[in-house]
């Protein structure tokens, strides 16, 4: 069994492109709290922040061959989704 903790983000991204579940798990463990905190700070809602964070990871899993993996990319993705959610929420009201 590989010890993914020693891999860089770039190495994990390459493994993820090959559908390596361990690589995905390590990425999830590395970044879940960071992404959740960003979403929570923008949305001020625990449940919505959790939902958006899960969506980002599902997108990463489903489109791993298309996406760049970096902390900056993931934070930008969560920020974009949170802002989009807020805009939709305001227009629905």
- DSSP of the chain, one letter per residue? ---GGGS-HHHHHHHHHTT-HHHHHHHHHHHHHHHHHHHHHHH--HHHHHHHHHHHHHHHHHTTTTS---HHHHHHHHHHHHHHHHHHHHHH-
pLDDT of residue 2: 80
pLDDT of residue 93: 67
In a domain, 3, yes or no: no
pLDDT digits (tens, 9 = 90+) for 29-39: 999 999 999 99
Provide the residue range defining the domain that includes 83: 8-92
What mean pLDDT do residues 5-13 have? 90
Q: CA-to-CA distance for 3 and 15, rounded, in angstroms?
A: 13
Of the candidates 92, 93, 25, 85, the residue with the CA atom closest to the CA atom of residue 52: 85
Domain count, the chain: 1
- Is the overall model pTM greater than 0.85, yes or no? yes
Whether residue 68 has pLDDT greater than 80 = no
pLDDT of residue 28: 95
CATH number at residue 86: 1.10.1740.10
Mean residue pLDDT across the chain: 91
pLDDT of residue 56: 95
């Amino acid at each position: 069994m590989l010890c993914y903790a020693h891999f860089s983000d770039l190495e994990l991204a390459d493994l993820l492109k090959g559908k390596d579940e361990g690589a995905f798990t390590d990425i999830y463990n590395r970044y879940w709290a960071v992404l959740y905190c960003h979403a929570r700070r923008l949305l001020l809602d625990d449940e919505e922040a959790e939902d958006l964070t899960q969506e980002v990871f599902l997108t990463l899993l489903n489109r791993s061959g298309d996406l760049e993996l970096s902390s900056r990319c993931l934070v930008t993705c969560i920020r974009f989704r949170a802002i989009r959610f807020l805009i939709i929420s305001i227009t629905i009201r």
